Amino acid sequence: MSIEKAKRDSYMKRNALAREDVKRAQDRHRVHSLRSNKSRKSSLKLLWLLVGPGILVMLGENDGPSMISYATTGATYGIGFFLPFIILTFAMAFVIQEMTVRLGAATKHGHAELISARFGQSWGVFAMVDLLIGNLLTLVTEFIAISAGLSFFGIAPVVSVFGAFLLIIAITSSRRYWTWERVTLGFALFNLVFVPIAVIAHPVQSHIIAAFLNWGPIPRGVTGGFLLLVMSNIGATVTPWMLFFQQSATVDKGMTTEDIRHGRIDTALGALIASVAAIATVLTTSLLFTHHINTSSFQGADFAHALQPFIGQMGATLFALGIFEAGLVAAIAISSSSAYAFGEITHRSHSLNSSFREAWPFYAVMLAAAGIAGSLVLIPHAPLVFIVLLVNVIATLSMPPAIIFLLLLVNDREIMGVHVNKKLGNILGLAIALFLILIGVAFGIITIFPHLLPA
């Protein structure tokens, strides 16, 4: 009898659904029930259920380095050139990220997993290692932002970093994708705090309209510093981790080809919200440009302190909290993208619906990435703002190869079927890759041969 029971238990164990499958099936049942109901109320509920990855990836990219980059941009060059340029960068981000939605929904596989399957295991490993290194550098800057934001309140860096790490552990411990996504979304939407700050700054409406109509001029002309900020602003909206995160999150959420339209809406909403917050940040710190305040040596909470005479204690407090929030949300999203890629390449369980026992390597990579990055931030006397800008530049330079891989995958009719890329999508994707390459070449030439610039 005991032998029969052992056989039965063994059979049940081999054929039992994984926890992630059960939880994902529960989420899909809710979606199916709402989709079968054609009422307006059900349509809004369906949209609420399906949004998430797109908003998260865009607001996650409005991370600590990005917000500091936008702050530096406004303080250094004002609003004339960069307001419309920010809109352009988020339009590029939407074009790229919409492809990842279709890839995830059509193939049910993450980005690293697809690269490995279509181009060979070695390319998959290369993509994963490249992502992990880039993500580690970016995570360092996220903890820099966390520390910078909380330093405004006199909180020591070690307390800020350790507290943020514990918060990441707490959010991850739900072992439920839906809970993780909704909690992170709640933090992410706090990115809009920069909007009331911009209102407090009282920007001149005619100047804003003129910036969009005239697109320029560029104060002090084209210099190496100007191109550094151009590349940093691009790196603030279009980076490789976004491809891996949104595609994997789309799969983990259980989205299907029926959900692609909602995925596009989700991504467009994310781009809109993030661009509004970015523009608000530039508008706020343009006060420092107007009053000729030199921000080249700013560290930590210097932006919030410098803005306090113009936007008051409340405005400066909100600005510091916004920087903290940006770093925290991105740290959560970026560490999860590293874990997704690792799980996909090693063929281990890689879902936020999984238990710790089922997917301990996935959770270990996620927390290790955040822990190592947080530890590196505590190195004393590091040039924080320069590191932030440099990481965004590195992200810009690494993006063209990532776009080429993406285009090859999304044009693969065998895996995409009717959802393969259209001609316009290919033209826009190639144009974005070419633009990034040209910007990178121009930056390199001006850095090596600064005498080529007009005096």
263-299: b (≥16 Cβ within 10 Å) or e: bbebbbebbebbbbbbbbbbbbbbbbbbeeeebeebe
Contact in structure between 412 and 199 (CB atoms under 8 Å): no
Helical (H) or strand (E) element with 439 = helix 423-448
Cβ atoms of 356 and 175 closer than 8 Å:
yes
DSSP 120-177: -HHHHHHHHHHHHHHHHHHHHHHHHHHHHHHHTTT--HHHHHHHHHHHHHHHHTT--H
**Tell me, what's the pLDDT at 379?**
73
Tens of pLDDT, residue by residue over 134-167, are 888 888 888 888 988 898 898 988 999 999 999 9
Residue 7 has pLDDT above 50, yes or no: no
Alpha helices in 347-422 (DSSP H): 360-377, 384-410, 413-416
Nearest to 385 by CA among 136, 76, 134: 76
pLDDT in tens, 14-69: 444 566 777 777 777 777 777 777 677 778 888 888 889 999 999 988 888 788 88
Residue 69 near residue 277 (C-beta atoms within 8 A): no
Q: Can you give the pLDDT at residue 407?
A: 94
CATH of domain 40-452: 1.20.1740.10
pLDDT digits 0-9 by tens, 86-142 = 999 999 999 999 999 999 999 999 899 999 888 988 988 988 888 888 888 888 888
pLDDT tens digits for 163-201?
999 999 998 887 788 889 889 998 898 899 999 999 998
Cα separation of 444 and 58, whole Å?
28
Task: Assign 3-class secondary structure to 75-96.
Answer: HHHCCCCHHHHHHHHHHHHHHH
Residue 365 in tokens = 């990579």
State pLDDT tens for residues 392-443: 677 777 888 889 999 999 999 999 999 999 999 999 999 998 988 888 787 7
Where is 255: in which H helix or E strand?
Answer: none
Q: DSSP class of residue 258?
A: G
Q: Diameter of the chain by CA atoms? A: 92
Instruction: Give me the amino acid identity at 229.
Output: L
- Return phi, psi of residue 68, to 5°: -70, -35
Residues in the chain: 455
Note the pLDDT of residue 409: 94
Q: Name the range with the highest mean pLDDT among 16-25, 258-267, 354-363.
A: 258-267
Secondary structure of residue 238 in the 3-state scheme: coil
The per-residue pLDDT for 206 is 81
Question: Which of 282, 358, 309 has the alpha carbon at shortest distance from 87?
Answer: 282
**Helix residue ranges per DSSP H, 201-259:** 205-214, 224-235, 240-253
* C-beta atoms surrounding 199 within 10 Å: 14
Per-residue burial over 157-185, b = 16 or more CB atoms within 10 Å of its CB, e = otherwise: beebbeebbebbeebbeebbbbbbbebbe
- Separation of alpha carbons 416 and 413, rounded Å: 5
Residue 10 has pLDDT above 60, yes or no: no
Query: What's the pLDDT score for residue 384?
Result: 60
pTM: 0.85
